[in-house]
């Protein structure tokens, strides 16, 4: 027959075993969560998206730049050099702001376009590179 102490001892041993199992599972879950977080961050990084979809990225960049430029600047006015018979009046502040925003929009558009085409060029070079060369890198 088992004594009360043996029964109590086996219960404590079982509790300790369960606590160790829980701690081990907790470590595994944390490691898996960390790994999943890294995978998601890598998958959603802009560089990875552009590598996977270079034409879509270039088109989106181009379209965004066009929309931004049109929204901010509208049409560019003719310069006073084109019409010598008209007098040049000082521009109001809002017109100057529009001009500055239009210039900024153009700069952003050109920058995004350059980045998009740079990634596209890099992608195409890597895609058509000989297999021997890609193994060296």
Choice between 103 and 36, residue whose per-residue pLDDT is larger: 36
Among 47-51, 52-56, 82-86, name the most confident range. 52-56
- Is 37 domain-assigned? yes
Choice between 82 and 30, residue whose per-residue pLDDT is larger: 30
Structural domain of 72: 52-77+88-136
pTM to 2 decimal places: 0.36
- Locate all alpha helices (DSSP H) within the chain, ordered by sequence: 4-43, 46-52, 54-73, 93-128, 131-136
36 and 100 assigned to the same domain: no
Can you give the pLDDT at residue 66? 83
Q: Structural domain tally of the chain?
A: 2
122 and 62 assigned to the same domain: yes
Cα 115 from Cα 110, distance rounded (Å): 9
Whether 82 shows a pLDDT value over 70: the answer reads no
35 and 1 assigned to the same domain: yes
Can you give the pLDDT at residue 9? 87
56 and 102 assigned to the same domain: yes
- Is 82 domain-assigned? no
57 and 114 assigned to the same domain: yes
Alpha-carbon distances of 125 from 12, 76, 134, rounded to whole Å: 65, 38, 10
- Is 83 domain-assigned? no
């Amino acid at each position: 027959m088992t004594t009360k102490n043996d029964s109590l001892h086996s219960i404590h041993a079982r509790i300790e075993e369960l606590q160790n199992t829980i701690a081990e599972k907790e470590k595994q879950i944390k490691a898996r969560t960390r790994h999943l977080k890294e995978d998601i961050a890598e998958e959603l990084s802009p560089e990875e998206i552009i590598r996977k979809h270079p034409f879509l990225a270039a088109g989106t960049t181009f379209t965004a730049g066009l929309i931004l430029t049109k929204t901010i600047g509208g049409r560019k006015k003719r310069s006073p050099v084109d019409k010598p018979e008209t007098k040049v009046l000082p521009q109001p502040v809002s017109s100057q702001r529009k001009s500055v925003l239009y210039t900024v929009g153009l700069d952003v558009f050109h920058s995004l376009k350059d980045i998009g085409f740079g990634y596209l060029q890099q992608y195409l070079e890597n895609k058509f590179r000989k297999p021997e060369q890609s193994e060296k890198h």
